[in-house]
Amino acid sequence: MAEPVIRRALESDIEQIAALLGEGFRRPPEWFAHRIRADPHYRPDLSLVVCRAGRVVSHMRVVPRELRVSGVPIKVAGIAESVTASAERGKRHILRLIAAVRDVAVAEGCELALWWTHRREFAALSGFAQAPAGVVPTEITEITTGTVTGRGTIRPVREADLPAVSRLYNQANGTRSGTTVRCQAYWHAHRRLLDGETFLVAEDSGGVVSGYVRVMPEDPVDQLLEVAAERPEIVMWLLAAAAPRGRLRGAVPESLRADLPAGTWSVVSDDHLVAGVHSQAIVNRMLPIWCQRAGTLVKAEITDDTLLVTSGGWTVDVPVASLARLLLLGTPTGRESVLFPPQDFVIWESDRI
């Protein structure tokens, strides 16, 4: 049997990649091929493939984006579309790819890598340089909508609504941690990528768009991609309209849960986000923020696998493997909370691709 070869993907690989994604994620290959070709930001060279005898048998993609991390826009490598052909599973292709993808992410100037996986043992393999990665615990929330009515109209989104949708997104997510920094071009491009998505807006009696919701219909429970609105009651109205069967699941920030009526939501599962940090780069970016939060000058250095932050008579030492979790989620107690205050964290399902 021919030995596997790892290389960057080519334009000519798209059909094979789409077929592999279709097998792994149980969607028609044409769905993935359309999504790849319609994405104006797609670069074949940011995908890594394992080939055997000229056939693509495993795939992993780097998606660079700006993410708000502890109040600071950080360039992040989202590691996505990790899949291996069924006949090739168990041959450690993913472990080979994650090491190669890490180098691609660093070359693209990314300071943080995020990878959704159910296998915690991959954490130690997806850090940058010699720094170990850490697991950031996240939660999936199920919401029961019931019957909700509102004043105004709920209708499918139109192209002319996108500036208002962008404003609502930024208004809701500008102070959260984990949310993607988006420009207008994102909305015009992304609306064409996710076939089958339910994308609704709420319009008040004056014709002003006051909320929106994106849902992917799934069995047995619809998937909440994201939602934002001027008021909590509009959120529930939108959720009920977008999920006529009355149930949705997805990532939901704590601030939004607090606004949902009592008894309408519950945490149904945990998810694993493996986060690797390009340690020195992210420390350099965060240092002015830490000085501001501490109210004084601080020094930060990395010794072995530990970050030491000092100022005057106090020291905070943080294992590098915990740094991503503290940056994204924060902590409510201890001296670390001065540098890493609690964050209203969410990575919307729409940004996990």
pLDDT (tens digit, 9 = 90+) per residue, 72-130?
899 999 888 899 999 999 898 988 888 888 788 888 999 888 887 666 555 555 555 44
Position with higher pLDDT, 276 vs 258: 258
Any domain includes 93? yes
Is residue 257 located within the same domain as residue 287? no
Looking at the structure of the chain, the number of domains it has is 3
pLDDT at 124 (0 to 100): 54
Tell me how far apart the alpha carbons of residues 210 and 190 are, in angstroms, rounded to a whole number. Answer: 20
Give the helix, strand, coil percentages of the chain, each rounded to 5: 35, 35, 30
Any domain includes 286? yes
Is residue 175 located within the same domain as residue 187? yes
Is residue 159 located within the same domain as residue 257? yes
Task: Please classify residue 287 by burial: count the beta carbons closer than 10 Å to its beta carbon, then call 0-12 exposed, 13-18 middle and 19+ buried.
Answer: middle
pLDDT (tens digit, 9 = 90+) per residue, 221-241?
999 999 999 999 999 999 999
Is residue 105 located within the same domain as residue 180? no
pLDDT at 1 over 80: no
pLDDT at 136 (0 to 100): 79
Nearest to 22 by CA among 56, 63, 64, 62: 56
Is residue 10 located within the same domain as residue 51? yes
pLDDT (tens digit, 9 = 90+) per residue, 172-216?
999 999 999 998 888 877 666 666 789 999 999 899 999 999 999
Helices (H), 8-161: 14-25, 29-38, 93-107
What secondary structure does DSSP assign to 185-225, as a single string?
Answer: HHHHHHTTTSTT-EEEEEE-TTS-EEEEEEEE--SSSEEEE
Query: Range of 291's domain?
Result: 274-339
Any domain includes 282? yes
Beta bridge partners of 6: 50
pLDDT at 181 (0 to 100): 94
DSSP 8-state assignment for residue 168: H
What secondary structure does DSSP assign to 284-299, as a single string?
Answer: HHHHHHHHHHHTS--E
Q: How many CB atoms lie within 10 A of CB 228?
A: 22
φ, ψ dihedrals at 214, nearest 5°: -125, 130
Is residue 150 located within the same domain as residue 242? yes
Q: List the CATH number of the domain containing 163.
A: 3.40.630.30
Last residue of a domain, one of 89, 110, 131: 110
Is residue 239 located within the same domain as residue 311? no
Beta bridge partners of 256: none
pLDDT at 56 over 50: yes
Mean pLDDT, the chain, integer: 88
Q: In what order do the strands lie in the sheet with 247-250?
A: 5-8, 47-52, 55-69, 72-84, 112-116, 265-277, 134-144, 247-250, 222-229, 209-216, 198-203, 153-156
Is residue 278 located within the same domain as residue 256? no
Is residue 241 located within the same domain as residue 294? no
pTM of the model: 0.87
Token pair of 97 as six digits: 């790819």
Is residue 262 located within the same domain as residue 331? no
pLDDT at 120 (0 to 100): 57
Nearest to 117 by CA among 70, 75, 84, 73: 84
Tell me how far apart the alpha carbons of residues 145 and 265 are, in angstroms, rounded to a whole number. Answer: 9
Any domain includes 222? yes
Q: What percent of the chain has pLDDT over 70?
A: 92
Task: Please classify residue 208 by burial: count the beta carbons closer than 10 Å to its beta carbon, then call 0-12 exposed, 13-18 middle and 19+ buried.
Answer: exposed
pLDDT at 147 (0 to 100): 74
Any domain includes 63? yes
Is residue 201 located within the same domain as residue 283? no
Any domain includes 122? no
pLDDT at 298 (0 to 100): 92
Q: How many CB atoms lie within 10 A of CB 315?
A: 12
Q: How many CB atoms lie within 10 A of CB 206?
A: 7
Tell me how far apart the alpha carbons of residues 50 and 56 are, in angstroms, rounded to a whole number. Answer: 6
Tell me how far apart the alpha carbons of residues 258 and 264 are, in angstroms, rounded to a whole number. Answer: 11
Q: Where is average pLDDT lowest: 28-37, 145-154, 240-249, 336-345?
A: 145-154
Query: What mean pLDDT is predicted for residues 129-141?
Result: 70
Task: Please classify residue 246 by burial: count the beta carbons closer than 10 Å to its beta carbon, then call 0-12 exposed, 13-18 middle and 19+ buried.
Answer: middle
Last residue of a domain, one of 67, 89, 110: 110
Query: What mean pLDDT is predicted for residues 39-65?
Result: 92
Token pair of 29 as six digits: 């290959």
Is residue 243 located within the same domain as residue 333? no
Any domain includes 57? yes
Q: Where is average pLDDT lowest: 19-28, 185-194, 202-211, 259-268?
A: 185-194
Tell me how far apart the alpha carbons of residues 149 and 152 are, in angstroms, rounded to a whole number. Answer: 9
Any domain includes 162? yes
pLDDT at 129 (0 to 100): 47
